[in-house]
Structure 1
């Protein structure tokens, strides 16, 4: 059973009394509700009332909504819940992970590229302050995965890098900045993403490291955070066969389950070996890494029985609550395990002072997206943007000498053509023109389709001008990649807008070309012919401005790259 006096709870007698008195005051249905974190997308009073009065949710995360709508939603939850709720946000890169008006400061990859801990400290501080302004008390971060596989795009930009010591150091800085501001962290994604290329949204993840390799990487990171008082851990739908086989000799391959359903990983490894006493929350319960394991009727009570304390997201609230109730009645979830989970949930709420809740005043909303936070974002951009290579010696570029610039902007297919063109393209053009370039930016297939759908649009992006005319009208090419992907494919690679598109880099042999990634760090695998390559980490205005400043030599490149950028190839280094 949980020790509420021990780390990370460190509760005093008054707080412990509140935990036990609260637990005793709850009905069975109210207790079951505490296990669930709702994904809130509707904010009408009827929906919110049902969540707190019928389903008795223990926590909330949300999608969408304006700054004021999110504030009012969270205020409603806290003022109308019998037990104050845990309010979580994904502030992995700053306050933009809490609300759309929030400030993107730096991704994990940008923080890892920066030579200074100040970048992650600023990112964490801004994220915490902006999240707290809308009532958040819990963040699903840091991403303390160790990326050892260059093909992994799930945490490529979200993790701090491939060095366990660096990951532990930056994760610890992140955690302490949040703790200072009264926000608890849920480090993720135990037992660790980054060693394979598949996405647990689509398939069970598999951390295939040996026991010894795991201890030296993920084990080192988690132990560092646990020893410093990590309050909670998010468990991924990721198996760790080496440890499952260590703790269960003779276990068959077909019996290996994701960590969310594996007592040997949650109890033997995480609780006993690593000494974690805090709260365990699942990753999203609709992800295929979990759903493929068994029926929802079995895995909803199964994750609690295995050692998870909270479940991230309902499918159907009444049905999911019924599944837990059946699990309690059948003995799948023991009374001891149920009470242990509830004590940890209430214990975390006590850590955060929810026993004496005071919801933040509305005046705090002015901190969200404020000028001071955007200044920190600009500083982070300056510290992190990385020149991976420049073997042709084209940098810095003087716009007076190479004034005629051709911009090829390679983007992911938009979710909907109604969303319009990628705003980063227009913002980059403004920055380049302000720096003194004359910019020609051909439309891509998606832009033509937005103007008017036609089967002939693909042919428009296949046309080429004569090479001599091109060279006469072009001094420099910027080849900008802004690929994005989430829960749709297991590996995001560079994808042109059409087959035989004029975006294909035919121009590298004609004029000097600079390739830039605004997101993933592993695109050299698809464009090894590029002799100059920059990882810029984000497409926000601060990062685009800093990028152009560095291209023209007004600012030096300060970021560093690890060996994963070469993608295990010799030709990417040329």
Structure 2
């Protein structure tokens, strides 16, 4: 093979024309897709990978390592030629091996003015690029066969040869210069109408700019990695798998079959989690983004992680450093596990008190408090090698519904949204956040701002709405980072359209990664079919891949051997450490909040109110399967340690479960509500830990029975203290209580701090917003 670099081989220039037809040719591994896509961008043309035009029979043969015969190729080449001939007004750039002169003649027979761009490389360069391409149609073992088949361009063929050994940018410039010489134009990189170098389209990724800030070496890694990927590997990079199994066999199946770009795992003991991540990173040639949900510190990332605070708790004290401490602990503990991606901070604004899915997961009910605390969290977690994905664009907290179970809506108008949620996103984007998780949340007024007249039936959740992802987030907000969907099983997404349509539609709309398979084989095929049918364009796929790999490179993952991507086992000592629990205890002490004490019941001490009737309220078991009343053991023990005499109330169901007979809810009411209640007890404490997250569209207290004995009828008999360990808005259901405390969490630290403050041993320091009164006058009494 002749060693030619940027050499036109046409005998005479073809006159410059409005329509360009360019075939990027060469053997497998030469970078046809990468260079072809870049050339297409600079020329303002669409790009198509010719592999997508192969009939299924050809694909099956190549995947099995069986070379195609010419009889196999002629129908495919005819499809390639007709596709070029029928290209739109501007033309088309198409990647096709076109190894033989006869193959190129077959294409030219249908599209005579086609120019061939041959990407030439040595066997050594090509071989190195083919290594690890396990999912490609062309196994590396067939490289020799392709090189033997290759017939280079000759003098009567309109074409250009470029050596691929040079850096990608140089290859691109030489390719454009050669094309210009062949067709008589003067186009070079960055000079063409619509090219990325002159007037960059607002959606193009800039790897040198924030939040990636990559150097030349990192950019070269991104581009060369994409160039060496098979189509299957490219499609796989779009997915973030939810690992429901810790076994190596499970991971082998996921990584070898689907080539996923990222993963999130089911929490477990830290040692098991770390080993699981270590094995996963050892099995993939492209480092994985490993995500966790450190919304509350280390808790949620592993079973033994430190609960530091909720978002609301971090916003419920004047000290903004609480949010930074939460982020710091989250970063240290998740990095010790081997995680590198945090699905946090949450930047929703809790405007509607009835919205319970984010009530404890929002820093507050104003954009100012959300921005201030989100920046602190981001700065804290960024001290560890961690990227953040803030959520949930375009913003939760307006609707009272939960996108896990129904599509919810942000109904603000364009101007008001910009003053509130838009302000938050602009500030955080400017602060350097690397990725944004998109909620399955529609925004009718925003969509209509960009698509006037859009009917109600066409209002889609943001994950499927290009006007929100591209016109607004990429365009007006200028976000250059990675966009990912929220969990794809959520009904807020799945009610919008058929699964086979919505999977590729999320990427086509502007998302770069798709969070969680429902059925791996189906979803992968849906995404692949979406690419082959043109729903996902080559440019959109290439942009998504560049952002995915750029996020990995921004974390330095490309520079680390796989054995160093996960810390050693001894690093786990920081998880749940005494130092981190001390941080949690100090925050609990600061943030336990007295919402009201209108009857002046406090303080209550063993000396003044020895006998305590203790009631526990929960929302019942949720998807975590944790005992919803386990916290009561801690409450009872802390009260007894403080010197109280504790009498624990049990419902009829609890008594029957313990073996008692002849009991029902009416008999329990009769026994509990007696005239001598105040003779038996000096005070009543009600501790509520009501969650129900992601299972219902609204969360309210559900009593054990009608007219249940635990409902605070006894406020007229003894001093009663109601303590919420989770939701801040329970006063709507217990307005009769005169003393209400928000402890924020059921952690031992929060419970201990609450009891100390009830006894007057320390001051209440926490703050609250007006949401706690639920827009009702009686809750304030």
* Contact preservation (8 Å) 1:281, 1:308: yes
Partner of 2:546: 343
Counterpart in 2 of 1:94?
297
Q: Distance in 2 between matches of 1:93 and 1:498?
A: 33
Residue 459 of structure 1 deviates from its aligned partner by 4.5
TM-score, reference length from structure 2: 0.72
Structure 1 or 2, whichever has the larger Rg, is 2
Instruction: Choose from 529, 534, 542 the match for 1:331.
Output: 534
Q: 1:450-461 residue pairs with structure 2 within 5 A?
A: 450-452=657-659, 456-459=663-666, 461=668
Q: Which residue of 1 aligns with 2:343?
A: 140
Change (3 A) 1:418 1:252: closer
Aligned to 2:682: 475
| Farther-moved stretch of structure 1 (129-138 vs 410-419) | 410-419
Deviations 1:307-360 (A, max 9, x none): 000000001112111111111111101100000000000000001111023221
Deviations 1:450-482 (A, max 9, x none): 435989554554333464321111111112211
Report the Cα offset of residue 62 of structure 1: 1.2
Question: 1:11·1:351 contact (CA, 8 Å) conserved in 2?
Answer: yes
CA distance in 2, matches of 1:198, 1:322: 32
Residue equivalent to 1:320: 523
Give the match for residue 366 of structure 2: 163
Indicate conservation of the 8 Å contact 2:691/2:726, yes or no: yes
Q: Report what 1:2 is aligned to.
A: 205
In structure 2, the residue matched to 1:122 is 325
Cα shift at 1:420 = 5.1
- 5 Å-filtered alignment, 1:122-521, equals 122-357=325-560, 358=564, 359-415=566-622, 422-448=629-655, 450-452=657-659, 456-459=663-666, 461-465=668-672, 467-521=674-728
Give the drift of 1:436. 1.4
Partner of 1:549: 756
Counterparts of 2:549 and 2:448, CA distance in 1: 34
Q: Tell me which residue corresponds to 2:259.
A: 56
Q: For residues 539 and 322 of structure 1, what CA distance do their matches in structure 2 show?
A: 44
The answer to whether residue 248 in structure 2 is matched with residue 45 in structure 1 is yes
Query: Cα–Cα, structure 1 residues 466 and 101, in superposed 2: closer, same or farther, change >3 Å?
Result: closer
Q: Is the 8 A contact 1:420 1:450 kept in 2?
A: no
Higher mean C-alpha displacement, 105-114 vs 299-308: 105-114
Larger RCO (CA within 8 A; separation ≥ 6): 1
- CA drift at 1:114: 1.8
Further displaced range: 173-182 or 513-522 = 173-182
Query: Could you say what secondary structure the match of 1:408 adopts?
Result: strand
Q: Give the corresponding residue for 1:573.
A: 780
Paired with 1:459 and 1:34, the residues of 2 have a C-alpha distance of: 59
- More displaced stretch, 115-124 vs 539-548: 115-124
Work out the CA distance in 2 between the residues paired with 1:450 and 1:120.
42
Q: CA deviation at 1:415?
A: 4.5
- Take 1:140 and 1:543, find their aligned partners in 2: how far apart are those partners? 25
Contact residue 721 and residue 738 of structure 2 kept, 8 A: yes
**Cα offset for 1:394?**
1.1
Distance 1:223 1:419, change over 3 A: closer
Q: What CA deviation, in whole Å up to 9, does each residue of 1:470-497 have, x standing for no partner?
A: 1111111112211111222110001111
Q: CA deviation at 1:423?
A: 1.6
1:99-146 Cα distance to aligned partner (Å, 9 max, x none): 010000000111111221121111111111111111000000001100
Q: Distance in 2 between matches of 1:455 and 1:341?
A: 65
Q: Which runs of 4+ in 1 moved over 4 A?
A: 415-421, 452-457
State the distance in 2 between where 1:104 and 1:329 align.
46
CA RMSD, 1 decimal: 1.6
Give secondary structure in 1 for the equivalent of 2:671: coil
In 2: Cα distance, 1:418 partner to 1:96 partner: 16
Asked if the contact 1:417–1:446 (Cα under 8 Å) also holds between the matched residues in 2, the reply is no
User: Matches of 2:223 and 2:659 in 1, distance apart?
Assistant: 64
Tell me: CA distance 1:39–1:461, structure 2 relative to 1, closer, same or farther (3 Å): farther
Offset of residue 395 of structure 1: 1.1
SS in 1 for 2:258: coil
Query: d(CA) in 2 for partners of 1:88 and 1:499?
Result: 44
TM-score, L = length of structure 1: 0.98
* Equivalent residues of 2:342, 2:387 under 8 A apart: yes
Cα-to-partner distance string for 1:153-174 (whole Å, 9 max, x where unaligned): 0000111010111100100111
Partners of 1:125 and 1:64 in 2: CA distance: 20
Q: Secondary structure of the equivalent of 1:113? A: coil
With 238-247 and 464-473 compared, the bigger mean Cα shift is at 464-473
Contact 1:421 1:447 in 2 (8 A): no
In 1, Cα distance between equivalents of 2:471 and 2:536 = 18
CA contact (8 A) 1:153 1:520 kept: yes
Q: 1:453 to 1:146 in 2, by over 3 A?
A: farther
Of 36, 57, 64, 2:239 maps to: 36
SS class of match (1:143): coil
**Deviation, structure 1 residue 555:** 0.9
CA contact (8 A) 1:77 1:84 kept: no
Shift of 1:225: 0.5
Aligned pair in 2 of structure 1 residues 421, 181: CA closer, same or farther (>3 Å)?
A: closer
* Residue in structure 2 matching 1:110, options 287, 307, 313: 313
Is the 1:202–1:488 contact (alpha carbons within 8 Å) kept by the matching residues of 2? Answer: yes
- Secondary structure in 1 matching 2:344: coil
CA contact (8 A) 2:620 2:628 kept: no
Local SS of the residue matching 1:110: helix
Q: How many residues align?
A: 574
Q: C-alpha offsets along residues 355-413 of structure 1, whole Å, 9 cap, x if unaligned? A: 02322111110110011000001011011110001111111122201111111111122
Change (3 A) 1:558 1:474: same
Paired residues of 2:622 and 2:692 also in contact (CA < 8 A): no
Distance in 1 (CA, whole Å) between partners of 2:349 and 2:333 is 27
Deviations 1:215-234 (A, max 9, x none): 11111111111001110000
